[in-house]
Amino acid sequence: MCGIVGYTGALEAAPILLDGLKKLEYRGYDSAGIAVLGKDGIEVSKVSGRIENLVEKTEGGRLLPGNAGIGHTRWATHGAPTDVNAHPHVSNDGRFAVVHNGIIENYIDLRDELIKNGYASISETDTEVIVHLIEMYYAGDIKRAVIKASSRLSGSYALGVVCTDAPHSVFVARERSPLILGVGLGENYFASDVTALVSHTRNAIYLDDDEFAELTPDSITVFNCAGQPVEKSVSRIAWDIQAAEKGGYEHFMLKEIVEQPRAVKAAIAPRIKDGEVVLEGAEMSKEYLSGISKIVITACGSAYYAGCAGRFAIEKLCRVPVKTDLASELRYDDPLIDEKTLLIVLSQSGETADTIAALREGQKRGAKTLAIVNVVGSTIAKAADYTLYTYAGPEIAVATTKGYTTQLAVLYLFALYAAKKMGRIDKERYDSLLSSLQAMPRRIQEAVDMNPNIPALAKKYHKSRSVFFMGRNTDYSVALEGALKMKEISYLHAEAYAAGELKHGTIALIEDKQPVVALCCNDRITEKTMSNIVEVKARGAEVLALTYRENKKMVALADDTMFIPLVETLLSAIVEIVPLQLLAYYVAKENGCDIDKPKNLAKSVTVE
Ligand code: F6R
């Protein structure tokens, strides 16, 4: 939800800001703008639409000369994506400009107060009040004004501020929205995420909530809300530049799909030592694990579906009840979470507002929390009692792929780890599942290689108005994610059903040539799913089956097939999803969709 960048140094700021915004465009892409401290004050340029429009309007930044500035790419919350509502917003006296990622919940009251005090608002945004507050509180000390203005805000914010009275400085503030400072030589940066920093510097300072900073070309001063300096350590960014580039692929999404063998290996390999799962950062004692009465997994969207798929492995192996709860619902449900509950929180970004709120709700009720997160130093990673990183590398496409599979990989590792600690799995089963898990990167590669027909299937099915996905048990959990991938990037209506449920209502929608993607990779219930396939076929459906080559009956029954290699059923979701990701990708491509930046979406959902 919105990306912000800032620069101060010897170089021209505008091209650097534009480049940073391109890297952050996945966070929001309905309008964009930059403000540069030029010779004659603050120069602002903003446009609705993509960053490319801004590049064109500013002639690659040349029209805004100056060595310090701030930029913003927007996912509209308050006010339509127009030029006026785009950030940066400028104070009435033209002295300050502000960019903001987050939501100001009390902006209506603040706006009324500001109007009474003679400050005119021109946009419909919540953000604009911030710049007017800073102007109102300014009495010669910019730091003080930023601190005072921030103290009036309820909600979440990462702010970038420039002021004509400090032409070489940029100021930042953070509260519940990500903000990272990039430490350079004779130049300094800030950004919402490290992807905008890695081409300039690998040295980063992660700001915490309620912290502020002033960046000049030669210094970074972090301070607290009392204005006192705060000591911060400089961390090394592990992601490399190539990881955030397309690397010859037409879309980030395709690159990230085919990258999955490597990403899953990075999640698994360092955590298996001498035939044992070792979870550094989440070591739990036998006493603790044996004392928990249940596990609750919470997350949003695809991360939630990863939880639904991973639940089976944890419950079956640990023999502990595992419940999945949508993070956006959990805290409104007076959840049965207490100190005997382990709350597992899944999040690629580590910044999803509802997931953060669910984590805090769990902690409030006494549960220990385990976060499975991709982005290092993110809010969720820092807030949880235990954190396991997924090591997927930067995921740029808005629709997650390697984020999902690496979350699953870590859930499987945890299932094995906990089952062993609790003494609930025998050695033979443990060893066999562990070697199946170690083989998953290869199996995922095979699932990519054995489906060269998917582009042709996409040509056949892309004009359908809707697609049903069905499966039972683990297959059903994958069907949920398969349907989400299809709808979010191809805009086809797609729904997933537990196969046995179709005839309890939805079968009324099956008509001639209705595509039904049938997942049939769970041996125990193959026959049952096949009966459901026969039922929909009898009503004219065209069935596209996802199964094993060895499942001859299924291959004969289906109209079309996609395959996965033979894998252990309990862990199969991590492989099964891959052909469905490819199917969604190629259908979206056939339909000419903007695959990496689907309409109305943003990568990191930092509003509730
Ligand atoms: C779908 C997708 C979203 C995210 C969800 C949670 O492709 O990417 O559904 O999974 O917004 O995001 P994280 O994992 O960052 O908490």
Residue 58 sits in a domain of what CATH number?
3.60.20.10
DSSP summary character for residue 541:
P
Domain identity same for 138 and 16: yes
Q: Residue 331: which domain range? A: 252-438
- Do 132 and 145 contact (CB within 8 A), yes or no? no
Asked if residue 7 is part of any domain, the answer here is yes
What's the pLDDT score for residue 330? 95
Cβ–ligand 1 contact at 349 (below 6 Å): yes
Asked if residue 212 is part of any domain, the answer here is yes
Domain identity same for 7 and 38: yes
Domain identity same for 476 and 378: no
> Block means of pLDDT (10 residues each) for the chain, length 608 residues?
94 98 88 96 95 96 97 88 91 97 93 94 91 97 98 95 98 95 98 93 95 98 97 89 83 97 97 97 95 98 98 97 97 94 97 95 98 93 96 94 98 98 97 98 98 97 95 96 97 95 89 95 88 93 96 95 96 98 98 92 77
Asked if residue 600 is part of any domain, the answer here is no
Q: Could you give the CA distance from residue 591 to residue 463 in angstroms, rounded to a whole number? A: 8
What's the pLDDT score for residue 76? 80
Task: Estimate to the nearest angstrom the gap between the alpha carbon of 227 and the chain centroid.
Answer: 33
Domain identity same for 367 and 476: no
Domain identity same for 353 and 462: no
Domain identity same for 398 and 503: no
- Do 480 and 498 contact (CB within 8 A), yes or no? no
What's the pLDDT score for residue 601? 85
Tokens of residue 532, six digits: 């459901």
The enclosing domain of 520 has a CATH number of: 3.40.50.10490
- The residues that are catalytic are 2, 603
Quick one: angle between helices 427-438 and 440-449, nearest 10? 40
Cβ–ligand 1 contact at 373 (below 6 Å): no
Alpha-carbon separation of residue 528 from 514, 524, 525, 549 (angstroms): 21, 9, 5, 18
What's the pLDDT score for residue 172? 98
Nearest protein CA to atom 9 of ligand 1, as residue: 301
Domain identity same for 519 and 491: yes
Asked if residue 366 is part of any domain, the answer here is yes
Among 212, 243, 274, the domain-final residue is 243
Asked if residue 392 is part of any domain, the answer here is yes
In degrees rounded to 5, what are phi and psi of residue 282?
A: -145, 35
Structurally, the chain folds into a number of domains equal to 3
Domain identity same for 41 and 7: yes
Domain identity same for 401 and 518: no
How many A from CA of 10 to the centre of ligand 1? 38
Cβ–ligand 1 contact at 300 (below 6 Å): yes
How many A from CA of 400 to the centre of ligand 1? 6
Residues sharing a CB contact under 8 Å with residue 409, sequence separation 6 or more, in sequence order: 264, 267, 268, 390, 437, 440, 574
Domain identity same for 404 and 300: yes
Q: In what order do the strands lie in the sheet with 560-564?
A: 493-498, 466-471, 515-520, 542-548, 560-564
Asked if residue 444 is part of any domain, the answer here is no
Q: In what order do the strands lie in the sheet with 386-389?
A: 322-326, 294-299, 341-347, 368-373, 386-389
- Do 341 and 320 contact (CB within 8 A), yes or no? no
For a ligand 1 pocket test, name from 192, 193, 302 the mutation site with the most ligand atoms within 8 angstroms of its C-beta. Answer: 302
pTM metric for this prediction: 0.89
How many A from CA of 404 to the centre of ligand 1? 8
Relative to the CA of 605, which ligand 1 atom is closest? 11
Cβ–ligand 1 contact at 257 (below 6 Å): no
Among 225, 243, 261, the domain-final residue is 243
Asked if residue 195 is part of any domain, the answer here is yes
Among 391, 411, 438, the domain-final residue is 438
How many A from CA of 398 to the centre of ligand 1? 8
Map tokens 């979470």 to a residue.
337
Asked if residue 596 is part of any domain, the answer here is no
Domain identity same for 398 and 458: no
What's the pLDDT score for residue 196? 93
Domain identity same for 76 and 173: yes
Cβ–ligand 1 contact at 301 (below 6 Å): yes
